[in-house]
Structure 1
């Protein structure tokens, strides 16, 4: 039976997209080596669908709402166990008031994403404000204005290609902030001019929402790898596994959608046999925040409720001289600072150094065999 409503057709298109994603597990661009990798891809697609439904199905830039990007059961695009992220769609021609509280975060920021209208992937970073660039009172409260017109110090500029806003709230605690169910970050966005109540969704609106979900889901699955730059193109992404490139330059990550302009990144792939481990030696610079995170093929952290797949400075046991020695391994090496691969033979080691006050020292690596 042929659908006689556009929303029905859109729903069938979504079902066809899910079938295409299942077929995509065999595409040669993926570095999958076993069935577990393919299972992981299907599960990742469900995380992306979860986000698409939450963020894009009823997205309304006239009446925006901040949605939490990640949770222990929804991970994609490089989640961070020490950070809480929110996002909202916006209309770059409108003016909004953003009110919130830092909630004792060590860093709070707002970044405009360019090119995301209609659920497309962020193409580059727009204007960013961090908590040193806007006024925060003694209780942690602040108020910003997001608009195309200048509104002074607490102004988040909206350029014509702006489509959404991403917020970051970093915490450097012993327990990862993303796992704390009691952590509440007050955050509200509202249009300066009241647009009135939203209209009742009709067939066209429902179809448009379902197709936005499709657009987002396709961008992080079928389109991924065809549009993303290969290893080595981004200076801080090593083209060689198990070692870091340690570049000196930092351009603010402005050309990388969903990145943080205040972060300096370092990244490599680990490739380890069952009895191998990757030892990483280095030293934390003076900075606002720093951590290292392990990701699977899809830039998701493995489950970290009971195992350490990330380490911040508070969690890291340093050597007497202030340096650190971390071990990426499939099993406990019997030394401090174990980063648990959760059995993944290959994945990404990803560093964030936030607002460093001095040049980063090189990260040195060595592959060893565990006894």
Structure 2
């Protein structure tokens, strides 16, 4: 038996066992739809893993979409409807040239992350280039070089759009400035890629599905997540250079969960800080939302209509309501909620949340 054969069968074993995380134990999901989401998530995550660890060629680099507002097979990992993410594994000893055009981006960056071992999730931001760090030609084009970057294993781009339905995304190009390595797709290289993919999958499904809080005053600790109740948010926090996964160094986050009856709504009110961009998104328990043209499952700082006092109120229900900032869970009774703020001047205060009957929810700004 070749090493590739062994590694392939190990990957199959990993895939076979991943659904235990959402079928059994404290994180078992409770409805048919979320169960189906779990199997979709396994295959979505497998696609990202193979792009990252099996098919990538660091000396022949290419950015591959990992999340977009419009690909249902790339909804994972805390996605949203406003951003395009693209990934490219790199060789830390090489130099690279990156080009693109900013299009309608309201914020973009390229972040280099480490990889503690093959397939292990990053725990460190190695370098970051923001849109304010580069120069542009008259048409919005840009070029910059990166590397060598000791410890770096992968580059991840972020391109946030105020209107994903009409905005022109960045089309990223990358080239290695030295001659490429010989092509080597033998059993050893294939086995290494398959094993790294399996390791990455196992870590992802150690995190998901996210636990939904309980509708009571009994707070609980749920894995890597903060102590919280359903229909509430945890305290916002700023990402540090030491991170987990591919978190955005420029972002502050606040996460929550919801448990809603048909006739209930969440009324979320907060004061946005001065920042480059913010959005709010509804996730299923696998940290995934719907496509931007499926339903309104998120709202961002450009779209949101503020109240007269500068606060913003967002109304969440299982169906689409009439408030200008209303978003829908697309009839999910349970799931998760996320705020993100890019380059805020301060970590925002915790959003206020009220659970009300739909009949009592506001239909316009105050």
* Structure 2 counterpart of 1:15: 12
- Distance in 2, Cα, partners of 1:252 & 1:134: 23
Structure 1 moving runs of 4+ over 4 Å: 230-234
Is there any run of 5+ residues in structure 2 with no aligned partner, and where?
212-220, 360-366
1:272 aligns with 2:257: no
RMSD of aligned C-alpha atoms?
Answer: 2.7
**Among residues 220, 224, 249, which one is paired with 2:204 in the alignment?**
220
1:155 corresponding residue in structure 2: none
Paired position in structure 2 for 1:286: 274
The CA deviation string for residues 72-120 of structure 1, in whole angstroms up to 9 with x for no partner, is 2211111121111111111212222222222231111111112265332
1:159 equivalenced with 2:143 (yes/no): no
CA deviations on 1:131-186 (whole Å, 9 max, x unpaired) are 112333333222222224xxxxxxxxx232x2111111111127375xxxxx4523
Q: Are the structure 2 counterparts of residues 23 and 363 from structure 1 closer, same or farther at C-alpha, using a change threshold of 3 Å? A: closer
Shift of 1:340: 0.7
1:191 maps onto 2:176 in alignment: yes
Cα distance, 1:303 vs structure 2:
4.4
Match of 1:63 in 2: 60
CA deviations over 1:211-262 (Å, ceiling 9, x no partner): 23222222212x3369x9x65977xx56232223445x63546423311111
Aligned to 1:356: 344
Query: 1:59·1:209 contact (CA, 8 Å) conserved in 2?
Result: no
Partners in 1 of 2:27 and 2:223 — Cα distance? 17
1:318 lines up with 2:306 in the alignment: yes
Q: Which residue of 2 aligns with 1:87?
A: 87
1:268-312, Cα deviation, whole Å (9 max, x unpaired): 111222322111012333221111011111111134423100001
Change (3 A) 1:184 1:364: closer
Decide whether aligned partners of structure 1 residues 17 and 108 sit closer, same or farther in structure 2, where only a CA change above 3 A counts: same
Decide whether the 8 Å contact of 1:296 with 1:302 is kept in 2. no
Taking structure 1 as the reference length, the TM-score comes to: 0.84
How do 1:95-106 and structure 2 match up within 5 A? 95-106=95-106
Secondary structure of 1:106's counterpart equals: strand
Shift of 1:361: 4.6
Counterpart selection for 2:165 from 169, 175, 178: 175
Alignment of 1:139 with 2:129, yes or no, is no
State the alpha-carbon separation in 2 of the partners of residues 244 and 22 from structure 1. 28
Query: 2:199 is paired with a residue of what secondary structure?
Result: helix
Q: Secondary structure at the match of 2:27?
A: coil
Q: Cα distance, 1:39 vs. partner?
A: 1.8
State how far apart, in whole Å, the 2-side matches of 1:340 and 1:233 are: 26
Count how many residue pairs are aligned between Structure 1 and Structure 2.
347
Given candidates 311, 317, 327, the residue that maps to 1:329 is 317
Residues 113-124 of structure 1 mapped to structure 2, 5 A cutoff: 113-115=113-115, 118-124=118-124
1:244 partnered with 2:233: yes
1:369 equivalent in structure 2: 357
Gaps spanning 5+ residues in structure 1: where?
A: 149-157, 178-182
Question: In structure 2, the residue corresponding to 1:332 is in which secondary structure?
Answer: coil
* Whole-Å separation in 1 of the counterparts to 2:200 and 2:223: 26
Q: Deviations over 1:304-341 (max 9, x none)?
A: 42310000123223333333221111123333322111
Q: Is the 8 A contact 1:81 1:176 kept in 2?
A: no
Which whole-Å CA distance do the structure 2 matches of 1:232 and 1:207 have between them? Answer: 31
2:35 pairs with one of 18, 22, 38: 38
